[in-house]
Structure formats: C-alpha cells, structure tokens
Structure 1
Amino acid sequence: MTENYHAINWNQVEDQIDKATWEKLTEQFWLDTRIPLSNDLDDWRSLPDNEKWIVGHVFGGLTLLDTLQSQDGMASLKANIRTPHEEAVLNNIQFMESVHAKSYSSIFSTLNTPNEIDEIFDWTNTNEYLQYKANKINSIYQNGSPLQQKIASVFLETFLFYSGFYTPLYYLGNNKLANVAEIIKLIIRDESVHGTYIGYKFQLGFNELAKAEQEELQNWMYDLLYDLYANEEKYTHEVYDGTGWTEEVLTYLRYNANKALMNLGQGALFPDTAEDVNPVVLNGMSTSTANHDFFSQVGNGYRLGNVEAMNDSDYDFD
C-alpha cells in the first residue's frame, strides 16, 4: 500500500529555529539586477592591472564555490533533515547560492571583456588550490556522514569564501567599487545566516552522540580545518603576494575559521580575534544600508529594511 504524502504545515513547527530562519532569509531576499554595477566603472578603470586581476580571479573562485554549494552541498544536506521545515529552509539557501554565483557573472559582464571572462573561468576551473578545496569539500558531500557534511558546509560558508570577500571589502573601505561591494555585503549577510543555521543543526546531532563519538568527530573536524587552511595559505600567496596584502588576508581567514568553529559549537583554533583584522575590512562586513539615492539606485536597506550584522552571541545556541 502506498504511504500517504504529507503536506508541510507551517502552523505546526517542531523547531522554531526553522521558522525564524525562513523568515530572516525571505526578509533578506535580493537580486543582483537591482544593483547599479556600471556606476563602479570609473573606479575600475583607475585600478592598476594587477589589482584588476585579483578582483576578477577571486570572484572566479567564489563562483566555483557557490556553484558547489548550490549543486552538491544543499542536496547532500537535504538527504538528512530533522523536520520538513528544515528542507524548506535548505531549498531557500540552495536558491540563494545560485543567486550568488550568478551575481559574480553580473560583475564580470560589467567590468571585464569577453576574453578576460574566458580567461578567469579557465583559470578557476584549473587552479590547483581552488580545485583542491572544491574537491575536498565535495568528497565529503558525496561520501561523508551527515554531521561531516554539515561541518564541510559551515567551513565553506564561514571560512573558505573569505579569501575572496577580503578584496571588495578592502576597496569599500577605501571608497572604491561601492556597488560591487554592495553585492558582496548582501552575500555575506546571507552566508552569516546559512552558516549559523547549518551549524545549529550540526550541534543538535553532535549533542546526541556519545562522548567517544564526539571526540572522534572533533578530531576529524580540526584535522579537516588544518588541511583546508594549509591549502588556503598557498592560494592566498598565489593571489595576493603581488599587492602585499597576503598577511592581512591570512589573519582575516584565521578569524573567520574561528567563526566557523563557533557556528559548530566548538572552541577556536587560531589566536586571531577581531582586533587583529584590518579594521577597514572588518567594518565592511557591516550590513547597513549603502548611501544610494532612492530615484536611480537601490541600496540593501531601502529594499529590505534594516538587517544587523552577525554578533558573536548569534553563534551560540546553547
């Protein structure tokens, strides 16, 4: 006999975090087509060629990781849900990861020539460090346990993206590429919720494990982070050594690696704190409204209302 198919009932929500996350994500909805990227062309033309190369190629790397998250990451997480409402939230996250990937193409089409775009994607699809982290995360999505998959997802959302996010936030702090940075700030706002929510779901499962199983999983988690960070160091040197930003980017990465661990309810691995991060870049992570006029341009606050940046306390679900 065929089992009855059950409709999702949002009037009976088992986990209120599902409902709260759904509401936050839908309130934050945005599309790249509303951001006037062409207004950044004067700033773009003023950048030296080596910095233009960095902008294009870090966005190529981000496109790769968002493609991975939308195509494989959310599919793996949806195979092991605790509630039907969790699947609805993951569907929303999956769609927004596709929006993020598409947004980078909007940036490319505005700032780069067709030949430059082809070169960026050729580089992205063959760079050994990008491919290493993409394949490392995807292998966990395909073969890992449900809790390992959540760890990989949080590391991707809250850590690995940030070697790319550093660049537009740096320019924003120096009053350049404001509309490009507006898109990145919207993406960071999404990723903050994604990483926190998936980390919360991880903590529910982790707390159900026996002590010995928790310790085994923690060892696996920290080994994975060490491995990813070692690769990220090499990637950062390759991309940023020509500008002298490398050490600042690595500090920023270590800070966000600790944030990823916080999402997962774990202790920090690195000594770096917010005080160690370039304040210009850290301030750029704020999701307050950009100074757009309401006639020709649309800032995120105008569209969506005020959404605060994530605080340390937002990562604590105890």
Structure 2
Amino acid sequence: METNKMVETYYKSINWNAIEDQVDKATWEKLTEQFWLDTRIPLSNDLDDWRTLTPEEKNLVGHVFGGLTLLDTLQSQDGNDQLRKDARTQHEIACFNNIQFMESVHAKSYSSIFSTLNTDSEIEEIFDWTDHNEYLQTKAEIINDLYQNGEPLQKKIASVFLETFLFYSGFYTPLYYLGNNKLANVAEIIKLIIRDESVHGTYIGYKFQLGFNELSEDKQTEIADWMYDLLYRLYENEEKYAETLYDGIGWTEEVKTFMRYNANKALMNLGQNPLFPDTADDVNPIVMNGLSTGTSNHDFFSQVGNGYLFGHVTAMSDEDYNIGLDR
C-alpha cells in the first residue's frame, strides 16, 4: 500500500484556531456582529419629512449622497482590493473581504435613498453632478492614485483619511436633519454606515501603526511629514467642495468645523497628534445631537430597524474611534 508523501505547500488554508493577531479576530467578530442591509430600513416613512424640505435642501441632500456614493464606490472597487495586497495575515485578508462587501452595501444604500425620495430625472442629475464635480473628482483621483501607486503605509493613510475624514462633509447633512427630527430613517442608514466606518478606520489605522512602528526614526519622520502634507492637500480641496455644497444654504463654516474635528480623529486612528484645534464642543450641537440619538425601533416583523436587528446604535463619542480592540 502506497503511503501519502509530503509535498511542499502550494496553498495555505486559513486556520481560525491559530490566530497570529488577536485584533484580526476581534475585528472580524465586530464586523459580522454589525452586519446590516439597507432593505430592512423603511425609507418611505421619511417621505412626509422630505416634502417639507425646500428645493435647495433637496438638491443638497441629493448631491451629498451622490458624493458619498462615489467615495464608497472607490473603497469597494479599488481601495480594499489594494489594501488586501499588503495584508500581514490571512485573517486580515478575511477582514478586508468583509469590509469590501460592506462598502458595496453602503454605496447601494444611497441608491435606495434616491429611489425612495427622488424622481428618475433627479437621480440622473445627481449622478451627472457627481461624475463631473471638480472637487469630488479631485479627491477621488488623489486617493485612488495612492491606492494604485503608493507604498503600503501610504495606502493605509489614504484609506483612513477617506473613511474618517472625507466622508464627514457629506455625513453632516443627514445628521443635521436627524438632530432636527427629520429624515430619521435616512439618518439611521447613515449611522449604520458611520458605525462601520469607525471600525474600518480604527482597524486600518492599527495596521498602519504596526508597520510605522517598525520603521527607523528618520523614516517615521519622513512618513509623518508626508502624511500631514497629504492632509493639508485634502483639506484644502475639501474646503472648496464644502463651499460648493453648503454656501447656498449657509452651513459652510459649521461643516468645515465638523470636517476638522474628524480630520483629527483620522490622525488619532493613525497614532498621530491632532492638527486642528477643533473639538466636539466646537461642532454644531444639533449635529452632535444627531450623532447621539439612539436608533429607531420599527415593527418587529415587517419594517424592522437596526434597533431590532443589531442592538442600539449608541452615541458617537471620542471613544468610538477606538472600537475596543487590544493594541
């Protein structure tokens, strides 16, 4: 009887009983625990609120969500694909697979909002605006160029800046309306997305810090200088983007404060010192109230909200940028 001979390993099975980095396991569990789909949120319940908005406000909401769709598309189609190539462990690859899928869920969620609130011609205008807005396209180009051509640590910096900073010029709008007791179901989707992005930004920031801490002091200084230069470049463009969105409605300066606050959070995720003086106390309290409003709880059997499916979407605070993963 011929015995099986040992051969050189061609392809290695992932073994979840032999974890190299416990943060991978904790992140996987957090990501799967938070799983959700936009189809379970009754967006049509927001139609009465939608009808009370002015044409300018409706236009703002559409363009904001169009911009967010573009960024989530970038993350799902290119960002996570590139980050996965530099993974340290097989379990990290599994986490990126999950993150990539959820970014696709995020992008689809905005289309669900459009199909509920907007006409076909309005949806067409939103995507045309998104595809041709100078500042939106510029930030997509900056980030994607780093994904395609950057070094591994540069890719991680770009991803954290996108998820913890650049999204927030758009998140401001639904959070503002939620703080004013409007568009609660739309905002419920946004809060689920924010909850996901908090995990993504923290996890990728942690992986950045592992690599960063292995560098020489001179190389760390070089990377840190490059990081802050990139942030300045992105912030300058984001200011102009915010102006195109919010000047007509008078919210621009408040949005910029919110942006700076979240830029600091991105730096914190990367283990760096904050750049801007803005704190939570400087952010419009209506928006902070929107962040801290608990999830709705819809009918348990037909139209269920995330309160039934996933527990509470709890208040966002400084600690939300540390999701409890052991460092």
TM-score under structure 2 normalisation? 0.94
Check conservation: 2:291, 2:316, Cα contact below 8 A.
no
Instruction: Note closer, same or farther for the CA distance 1:169–1:313 as it changes in structure 2 (3 Å cut).
Output: closer
Using the alignment, how far apart are the partners of 1:98 and 1:288 within structure 2?
A: 25
1:92 CA displacement: 0.3
Match of 1:250 in 2: 256
SS in 1 for 2:292: coil
Equivalent residues in 2 for 1:194-213 (5 A)?
194-213=200-219
Check conservation: 2:297, 2:308, Cα contact below 8 A.
no
Using the alignment, how far apart are the partners of 2:160 and 2:293 within structure 1?
A: 20
* 2:230 aligned residue (224, 236, 245): 224
1:235 maps to 2:235: no
1:27 maps to 2:33: yes
Match of 1:155 in 2: 161
Equivalent AA in structure 2 for residue 116 of structure 1: E
Using the alignment, how far apart are the partners of 2:231 and 2:164 within structure 1?
A: 12
Match of 2:190 in 1: 184
Check conservation: 2:297, 2:307, Cα contact below 8 A.
no
1:300 CA displacement: 1.1
* 1:113 aligned residue (113, 119, 122): 119
Check conservation: 2:46, 2:185, Cα contact below 8 A.
yes
Using the alignment, how far apart are the partners of 2:19 and 2:54 within structure 1?
A: 53
* 1:6 aligned residue (12, 15, 18): 12
Which 5+ residue runs of structure 2 have no aligned equivalent? 1-6
- Map Cα deviations across residues 59-116 of structure 1 (whole Å, 9 max, x no partner): 0000000000001100110010111000000000000000000000000001111111
Instruction: Note closer, same or farther for the CA distance 1:265–1:309 as it changes in structure 2 (3 Å cut).
Output: farther
Which 5+ residue runs of structure 1 have no aligned equivalent? none
Equivalent AA in structure 1 for residue 234 of structure 2: L
Check conservation: 1:182, 1:290, Cα contact below 8 A.
yes
1:70 maps to 2:79: no
Q: CA RMSD in A?
A: 1.5
Using the alignment, how far apart are the partners of 1:54 and 1:91 within structure 2?
A: 32
Check conservation: 2:292, 2:315, Cα contact below 8 A.
yes
1:266 maps to 2:293: no
1:295 CA displacement: 4.6
1:307 CA displacement: 5.2
Using the alignment, how far apart are the partners of 2:243 and 2:121 within structure 1?
A: 25
Using the alignment, how far apart are the partners of 2:313 and 2:132 within structure 1?
A: 37
Using the alignment, how far apart are the partners of 1:221 and 1:302 within structure 2?
A: 41
Match of 1:88 in 2: 94
1:131 maps to 2:123: no
Using the alignment, how far apart are the partners of 2:17 and 2:292 within structure 1?
A: 34
1:310 CA displacement: 5.4
1:296 CA displacement: 4.3
Using the alignment, how far apart are the partners of 1:43 and 1:307 within structure 2?
A: 22
Identity %: 77
Using the alignment, how far apart are the partners of 2:167 and 2:12 within structure 1?
A: 37
TM-score under structure 1 normalisation? 0.97
1:79 maps to 2:64: no
